[in-house]
């Protein structure tokens, strides 16, 4: 496996010398995310394996090409899990791609994002230099944490070789309850219960019902169900898995899928040419999915008017910009970071923004 690291390093060093663009590929389960990729493939799928797992310390260190399923199996043996509930979007999904996208599931508002659980990493910069950041335990993380900077960078800053992560124990009990309610009613209900100390780990709404996932000890779950009321939803486990993987019928659509990030208490407003059935609300109101053929600029303007931002998550024109626009000052910061880590601009260039 060490030889694969050296092969990857040599490939990046050669690309740096030749100024050849590289397209970093793991399980290729998220090739559709971000702008269209180009360049010579730099394949990390064979760079896999668990390097260290300390259940008693709640930490795990894995190579970037390690499949999420492999990690889940190892953690399950000790009744532990990745706390940010990562979506797979394909059986070949790897931890490297998950961290590069900073993807988190329905638990995100209540447990934190993928970035929050990164303790350290080894990576190759755009020169092919091996860099190490952070550590394998939380107490080693101090100052400006470059390892967490890798989360969400879509491989534009470096090639992630391995990552150390914090893990947490499995819940003892889990139950899902549902209340009937329109989107407006659901937003009010979700925000009311979000302000309580109840062990709620996911909330979503489809315009007809609002759903709550409650996790914790058996007694805590039973008390919370009694407080919240509503009806027990028997298909809760499958609901949250299907939401995480975008396997709900809502997501089966040919139109572009937009993700709006809004204040969780922002009222529900219909957008011109969009019907209620075109919306789905997650993350307790903070994440709102919209299926629409409207241009991204119009969706972004709508999101900004309501205190948030929007991006084209799936489908649409992947050669155009897909993420929320950056201010000139913030773009300049991103460009300086890119130039520092990747001087010749060879790593996943343009995957986030055209000018990165």
| In CATH, 2-169+336-341 is 3.30.465.10 | yes
> For residue 268, what pLDDT is reported?
93
Dihedral over alpha carbons 224, 226, 232, 236 (to 10 degrees): 0
Structure tokens at 115: 């970035």
- pLDDT of 237 above 80: yes
| 243-267 per-position pLDDT tens digit | 999 999 999 999 999 999 999 999 9
For the segment 337-354, the average pLDDT, to the nearest whole number, is 96
Which residues touch 18 (CB under 8 Å, ≥6 apart)? none
Q: How many CB atoms lie within 10 A of CB 80?
A: 18
Chain center to CA of 334: 20
pLDDT tier at 48 (50, 70, 90 boundaries)? very high
pLDDT band at 273 (very low <50, low <70, confident <90, very high): confident
Nearest CA to 323 among 261, 266, 276? 261
Q: What is the mean pLDDT of residues 45-68?
A: 97
Q: Where are the domains of the chain?
A: 2-169+336-341, 173-253+255-314
**3-state SS track over the chain:** CHHHHHHHHHHHHHHHHHCCCEEEECCCCCCCCCCCCCCEEEECCCCCCEEEEEHHHCEEEEECCCEHHHHHHHHHCCCEECCCCCCCCCCCCEHHHHHHHCCCCCCHHHHCCHHHHEEEEEEECCCCCEEEEECCCHHHCCCCCHHHHCCCCCCCCCEEEEEEEECEECCCEEEEEEEECCHHHHHHHHHHHHCCCCCEEEEEECCCEEEEEEEECHHHHHHHHHHHCCEECCCHHHHHHHHHCCCCHHHCCCCCEEEEECCCCCCCCCCCCCCHHHEEEEHHHCEEEEECCCCHHHHHHHHHHCCCEEEEEECCCCCCCCCCCCCHHHHHHHHHHHHHHCCCCCECCCCCCCCC
What separation in angstroms does the CA of 70 have from each of 81, 296, 324? 12, 37, 33
pLDDT at 144: 53
Contact 176, 211 (CB under 8 A): yes
Residue in the structure block whose two tokens are 């609300």: 281
**pLDDT score of 143:** 47
**pLDDT, averaged across the chain:** 94
Report the pLDDT value the prediction gives residue 270, as an integer from 0 to 100. Answer: 83
N-to-C CA span, the chain? 31
pLDDT at 274: 83
How many other CB atoms are there within 10 angstroms of residue 234's CB atom? Answer: 11
Cβ-contact 262, 306 below 8 angstroms: yes
Tell me the pLDDT tens digit for each residue of 12-41.
Answer: 999 999 999 999 999 999 999 999 999 999
pLDDT, tens digit (0-9, with 9 covering 90-100), for 178-233: 999 999 999 999 999 999 999 999 999 999 999 999 999 999 999 999 999 999 99
Q: pLDDT tens digits for 112-152?
A: 999 999 999 999 999 999 999 876 654 444 445 788 889 99
Q: Which pLDDT belongs to residue 140? A: 43
Tell whether pTM > 0.95.
no
Q: What integer pLDDT is reported at residue 266 of this predicted model?
A: 94
Confidence band, pLDDT 50/70/90 cuts, at residue 68:
very high
Structure-derived torsion over alpha carbons of residues 249, 253, 258, 264, reported in degrees to the nearest 10 = -20
Contact 148, 205 (CB under 8 A): no
């Amino acid at each position: 496996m060490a030889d694969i690291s050296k092969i990857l390093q040599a490939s990046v060093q050669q690309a740096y010398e030749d100024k050849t663009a590289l397209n970093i590929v793991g399980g290729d389960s998220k090739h559709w995310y971000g702008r269209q990729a180009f360049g010579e493939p730099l394949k990390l799928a064979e760079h896999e394996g668990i390097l260290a797992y300390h259940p008693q310390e709640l930490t795990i260190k894995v190579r970037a090409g390690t499949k999420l399923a492999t990690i889940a199996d190892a953690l399950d043996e000790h009744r532990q899990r990745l706390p940010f509930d990562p979506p797979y979007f394909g059986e070949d999904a790897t931890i490297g791609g998950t961290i590069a996208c900073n993807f988190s599931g329905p638990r995100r508002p209540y447990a934190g994002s993928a970035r929050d659980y990164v303790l350290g990493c080894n990576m190759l910069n755009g020169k092919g230099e091996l860099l190490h950041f952070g550590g394998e335990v939380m107490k080693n993380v101090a100052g400006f944490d470059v390892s967490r900077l890798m989360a969400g960078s879509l491989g534009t800053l470096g090639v992630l070789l391995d990552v150390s992560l914090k893990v947490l124990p499995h819940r003892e009990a889990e139950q899902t309850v549902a209340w009937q309610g329109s989107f407006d009613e659901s937003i009010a209900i979700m925000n009311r219960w979000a302000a309580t100390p109840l062990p709620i780990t996911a909330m979503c709404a489809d315009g007809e019902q609002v759903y709550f996932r409650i996790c914790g000890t058996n007694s805590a779950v039973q008390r919370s169900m009694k407080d919240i009321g509503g009806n027990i939803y028997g298909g809760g486990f499958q609901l949250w898995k299907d939401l995480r993987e975008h396997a709900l019928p809502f997501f089966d659509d040919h139109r572009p899928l937009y993700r709006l990030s809004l204040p969780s208490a922002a009222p529900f407003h219909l957008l011109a040419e969009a019907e209620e059935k075109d919306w789905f609300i997650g993350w307790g109101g903070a994440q709102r999915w919209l299926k629409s053929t409207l241009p991204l600029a119009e969706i972004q303007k709508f999101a900004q008017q309501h205190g948030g931002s929007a991006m084209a998550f799936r489908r649409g024109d992947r050669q155009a910009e897909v993420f929320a626009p950056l201010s000139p000052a913030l773009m300049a910061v991103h460009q300086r970071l890119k130039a520092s880590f990747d001087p010749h601009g060879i790593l996943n260039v343009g995957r986030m923004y055209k000018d990165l």
